[in-house]
Amino acid sequence: MLDAFQVNTTVEGKSVKIKRIVPARKRNNKTPFLRIEHFNAQDGGFPNQVHHGFEGLFYLFSGKVHHEDSIGSKVDIESGGVELFTTGAGLLHAELVEHKAHGIRIWIDLPDDKKHMPPSYQRFEVGALPEESNSSISVRTIVGKGSPVKPQLNVDIFDITLSGKSAYKYNIPEKFNGFLYVVVGSIKIKGKVINASETVYFENERDIAMLSNTGARVLICFGEPHGGEVEFAQAYVVI
């Protein structure tokens, strides 16, 4: 049975409202995703933090975020852009918002043999991301086939916009499990309505067929588990 549930809302960083998609309740997370969060920020952002052992991906629906880190990166990410930073052995970083920023941040676990790799940083503008569209559907590949964004693990991340009455099908790669999150609007899957701010976890499924009558924006995050236990430790330092 399809299990859709409302995500938890909290506040992190400097007064940033977060809708936490992952971790999801107490369910067993058989994906490489430590966290997936939908954020809306007005000034503030995420001050200096020390992280290690995972990769962080920021994708902006709108606005601008300024990134700084301990390996010398000082970069702005603007609407539609992506940043991917590998914390590896350890990275001090900050994502700061001067006015407004709306987007997704995703933390992808690193397997044990890569948790102590050197930290690194990459930024990609919206024009670098593959996008396919027609009159009713737009699919932007944040991570996946054709995208220059290359995490250490096999991952698919898509930003899908459905206009009016439309349908979309995602064929799930073998061994992938993951999450679907409705950003705005509503969709229907297997006869069940999934509304804005609701998410669904898929394990051992091979496709997702979604329908929309009035339009929706949907985030899809799927990946191949690396075999280790995926457990986020709240062991970071805010400076």
160: left (phi over 0), alpha (psi -120 to 50) or beta: beta
User: What's residue 28's pLDDT?
Assistant: 65
CB atoms within 10 A of CB 227: 9
What are the structure tokens assigned to 105, written together? 């941040």
* Residue for token pair 């702005």: 76
Strands, E, within the chain: which ranges?
4-6, 8-12, 16-22, 33-51, 54-69, 74-78, 82-86, 91-109, 120-124, 131-133, 137-143, 155-162, 166-171, 177-189, 192-195, 198-202, 207-212, 216-223, 237-238
* Domain tally, the chain: 1
- The arithmetic mean of pLDDT across residues 121-148, rounded, is 96
What is the DSSP secondary-structure string of 48-80? EEEE-SEEEEEEEEEEEEEEEETTS-EEEEETT
Q: Which domain holds residue 145?
A: 4-238
User: What's residue 25's pLDDT?
Assistant: 60
Q: What confidence tens digit (pLDDT) does each residue in 31-87 have?
A: 899 999 999 988 888 988 899 999 999 999 999 999 999 999 999 999 999 999 999
pTM metric for this prediction: 0.92
Q: What confidence tens digit (pLDDT) does each residue in 226-236 have?
A: 876 655 543 34
Residue 172 CA from chain centroid, whole number: 17
What are the structure tokens assigned to 47, written together? 């001050």
Q: What is the DSSP letter of 119?
A: P
Distance CA 217, CA 63 (A): 17
- The arithmetic mean of pLDDT across residues 143-170, rounded, is 96
What are the C-alpha distances in Å from 181 to residues 42, 45, 235?
23, 22, 27
Q: What confidence tens digit (pLDDT) does each residue in 75-121 have?
A: 999 999 999 999 999 999 999 998 899 999 999 999 889 999 999 99
Distance CA 26, CA 8 (A): 12
Q: Could you tell me the CATH number of the domain that includes residue 198?
A: 2.60.120.10
What are the structure tokens assigned to 13, written together? 């960083």
- Tell me what percent of the residues of the chain surpass a pLDDT of 90: 74
Residue 156 CA from chain centroid, whole number: 10
Where does residue 236 rank: exposed (0-12), middle (13-18), buried (19+ CB within 10 A)?
A: exposed
Distance CA 203, CA 133 (A): 28
